[in-house]
Structure 1
Amino acid sequence: MALSIPAVVRPAPVRRTTGALPAWPLLALFWGLPLIWASGALQFAPALLAVAMLFLLVLRHGVTVPWPAWVLGVFLLWMAASSVQIEGFGSWMGFALRWVNIFAALVYVVYYWNARETLDSRRFLRAAVAAWATLVGLGLLTFVIPEARLTTPIGLLLPEGITSNALVQNYFFPPLAEVQLPWGAPEPYNRPAAPFPYTNGWGSGFVLLTPLVLAYLTTVRFRARHLLIVAGLLASLAPAVATTNRGMFLGIAVALGYVMVRMVLRGRIGVALAGTAAVAAVGAWLVASGAVERILGRQQYSDSTGTRSDLYRDTFLATLDSPLLGYGAPLYDETVGIEMGTQGYVWTLMFCYGFVGLGLFVAYLHGTTLATLRVRSTTGLLVHSAPVAACLFFTYYGLDAVQFILISLSLAVLLRSRRYGEGL
């Protein structure tokens, strides 16, 4: 499928100053993802890099803060207020990690906004392609050694009393895949997870990164690089199917469907038809190869939908008893056997921080997504489709640091482009 390359709109030149912010602290998370994962530092790296960026911002004069960052700042204050509800050391640790992850995303947004001399949308998209290549590469590796688990340097430094916890073990001795054998299943399901601890993290990362890869593809002018990325997209279908993750395919469908509809509304019928034909061809292959049957077949042995609906009901009813501040952290639901405030970020927000906290986060995510709706280019439209998909999948996916930073940076890229005329 031929991809049209939009005309490049040159932004007003940016005068370099001695206070120019370096690009490496922001890009390191994406380019360095394989090393960060292999070292066991993925849970800490976003925050550590945010500290470096914060230090550089403090040294720079004339820092400006875009309005979504202020909304996120108010949400962080509300999170802090909700912490008065927390009991237990483990719950405090979980709260601290969630708070730091949101704060790190705020710093990433402010840093990108002020680094016009060194960071532009193209550099961000190249970094996203690098992260996507790591995701797909590790996903393909699960076909060779699905039961492999990495022993990381940081994991070796931790005492056994800490690493015996299943969640901590998946953080610091991460598996390549979630190997699941539900009762009655004829064979195990090897579901790619790395570089994240769980398959749902892989799925949400794939939903966010794939539109950014397509966005980068619209800017590529070298045929060899173009073909390499297309080959990678085709190869990515194998680990994507292996996840048997319905939520991931729904997110991808929403992102691509959104782009096609916007193309039609712009009068670019040919591009929309070509894109629809490509998606239909992939869908036909999924059906013919038996991939769809395999994805749906897993539900015969695992009633995750029924369990989730019960959990969501209990979570909502419990939040009614503490509607303002929530409970600060997830709590175990004895009826379902799973913690309330999990299995979807919207439920984490509602249960942990009350309806006010949920409203503040929705104001940030959905408000900024609406504010960046008027994109000018095909590249910008594809970038915008990532947070559009996130507005849906945060109802059933959790958001770790990397995923939330990707969403926030995608929005910051679009917002800054609109503010300064950078061509998206």
Structure 2
Amino acid sequence: MNTRQVRDVVILGSTGSIGTQALEVVGARPGLFRVVGLSAGGSNISLLARQVLDFGPAVVGVAQATAVQDLQLALYAEVSRRGWNRGEVKLPKILAGPTASDELAAYGCDIVLNAITGAAGLTATLATLAQGTTLALANKESLVIGGRLVTSAAGDGQIVAVDSEHSAIAQCLRGGRAEEVDRLIVTASGGPFRGMTREQMAGATPEQALAHPTWNMGRVITTNSATLVNKGLEVLEAHLLYGIDLDRVDVVVHPQSMIHSMVQFVDGSTLAQCSPPDMRLPIALALGWPERLPGSARAVDWTKASSWTFEPLDDEAFPAVGLIRRAGKLGGTAPAVVNAANEECVDAFHDRRIGFNAITDIAAAVLSEHTAEHTAEHPGEHTSDQGPAGISAGNVRSTLVSDDDLTLDAVLTADRWARQRAVQLIAGQQE
């Protein structure tokens, strides 16, 4: 990339795991990238202040409007700590409120890295695509719940994957033409509960769920990796990103996390991308795409003996992949519903209001309720659905909006309904 102009980068979710590692990648290459905008939720203002002074963005966004004064005070405190004079520091423009990241996404730049956690990243993804800017996508939820809204808004090659699995697939796809692809194989570490039965996981604690054997991630993604919800989302993301039918996207458990995913071709060949687990590699590749950045991460040491193993996914112990695959086949608002319910359940699990297995049980019950009109005599009315753990859906009206009729308002409405319904079912678990 030495012959290319400096790329202006906006990082959304800069204080999270992906955001901080992205800034490491950018900071090590000042001749290649320039940070022009940062956004964060507002829960770690001191870190955001340090990032602002380290990288000098022109604009900063905070989702919590009440955090603006805190950020200003933190900036002045950090300036003093560094021994700088206030007059020498040019403070950035501060955007505040729930649309701050959306506004930043529409800011003039070359790349927007969307590392916001959860469904909250959807509108920023759409704003980036509308601007015509390259989207380095770490927020898989926005693609999963947005579905056709996102894929139809994206230009050819406008979305570049940041997830290690989808980055691996993109690299392997370079090895053949689209018509030569047979299957995509997404690898999974298996998480902290690999090899356990559902009965054994019933008493799992939040601390155990966060003890991921390979990756150091945020609370939501790490918990989703323990339930394998994250892997289900990745299956759906691979389908949407690369146009491969869901039935041709497989999951295999690979505990060592050295092979990040594979592509199987029609002649029986399989290409795999391997490297030690380090998110800086796919982040650097996404920011530099289609070129590789030298020294992004260490390579495999082939002089040392090692064993890499593969196991089939235990769908009975981990039903989340099948659940999300079902939502993906239903399409429309179904993925948004199961994702929203899961996010509420993850919070409830960490608050110790529900057990570990109830996360996917409640998400499944909410999805079944939302899609019940497909089998009910009177569409939209359903009174006696049972989730996988016998969770009653109750008397409600639910409406699945199809892909053909999908709108942003429909997605957001389904998201809100699913959260409310999940909260009700969570409360029922406590009675």
Given the two structures, how large is their TM-score scaled by the length of structure 1? 0.28
Q: Which of the pair has the greater relative contact order for Cα pairs under 8 Å at 6+ separation?
A: 1
Higher helix fraction (1 or 2): 1
Higher strand fraction (1 or 2): 2
Given the two structures, how large is their TM-score scaled by the length of structure 2? 0.27
